[in-house]
A and B are shown apart, each in its own frame.
Chain A
């Protein structure tokens, strides 16, 4: 996946506009930390057969994604949340591999961004 396209740069610029590079770097670190924690919770939900737990984890990922402009991640998380909340744990899980793949691209792009000062 093209790392450049998985993030809306305007969203990052809005964060910079509020608190500069310092805020953006902290936001990125917290976002990555939060998503990794929620992915782990979703795995635990799958192991326990708890579709609500998967749904809650996907909801949190969806909520956070918009602020850093990770719109594709937000969409995939929403699909998983909806399926999980409907009790379709297997179908939700089928989409999980894509969620992880999109997050890997988002993380790579945001990590680059967090390491670079604004142009």
Chain B
């Protein structure tokens, strides 16, 4: 029997985390950790090295896209599933260009679509056109992805932390 897949949940809403945790427990996946901010997500990823990262697009202290860029510099293999409020967002296209493997609309967490994204045995995979496997290309997303991944990672991380400190002081 193969070992249970380990999942890092990166989501700032407590109700969504509870629901995800319950679903993962039901399908016998292991929870590697739970992050409420982008910076926590990166720190926990480095500590726990999960098999799957569930990544909310909109989080405080480092949004999902920023976290995704850093994750892909650390690990190109880990499965990253984006959590998004809807699939019309330009951010979804950008995330797929940046290397997210799939995305799930948050209101679909309780449906088979979420299990498909997790690649649970016995649940068939979606068609490319509906599953978000990098089929929704657009040039603007390409350009945004390219421009935001250039430069020194350490410098960009420091900038992100500075920006978050500024935001925290405003809150």
Contact = CB atoms under 8 A, between A and B. Distances in A.
How many A residues are at the interface, by size bracket?
A: 20 to 34
A30 B19 CA distance: 10
Contacts of A88: none
Interface residues of B, number: 20
The residue among A30, A56, A63 with the most chain B CB atoms within 10 A of its own CB is A63
Given A18-B22, A27-B18, A63 B110 contact: no
Contact of A66 (B18, B23, B58, B107): B107
Interface in B1-33: 12-16, 18-19, 22-23, 26
Contacts of A31: 15
A63 B107 CA distance: 7
Q: B16, B85, B86, B106 — which one has the most chain A CB atoms within 10 A of its CB? A: B85
B86 to A, nearest CB: 8
B23 A67 contact: no
B42 interface: no
Contacts of B129: none
A11 B58 CA distance: 23
B14 A67 contact: no
A63 B18 contact: no
B58 A67 contact: no
B109 interface: yes
Given A66-B107, A67-B110, A27 B58 contact: no
B85 A34 contact: no
Interface in B38-92: 58, 85-86
B23 A18 contact: yes
B16 A67 contact: yes
B110 A64 contact: no
A23 interface: yes
Interface string A17-48: 11100010011001101100000000000000
B58 A30 contact: no
B111 interface: yes
Contact of A30 (B15, B106, B109, B110): B15
Contact of B13 (A17, A64, A74): A64
Give the top 8 A-B pairs by smallest Cβ distance, nearest first.
A66-B107, A30-B15, A14-B110, A19-B22, A63-B85, A31-B15, A63-B106, A30-B14
Interface of A: 11, 14-15, 17-19, 23, 26-27, 30-31, 33-34, 56, 59-60, 62-67, 74, 78
Given A11-B110, A30-B15, A66-B105, 11 more contacts: A15-B110, A17-B110, A18-B19, A18-B23, A19-B26, A26-B18, A30-B14, A59-B85, A63-B106, A64-B16, A67-B15
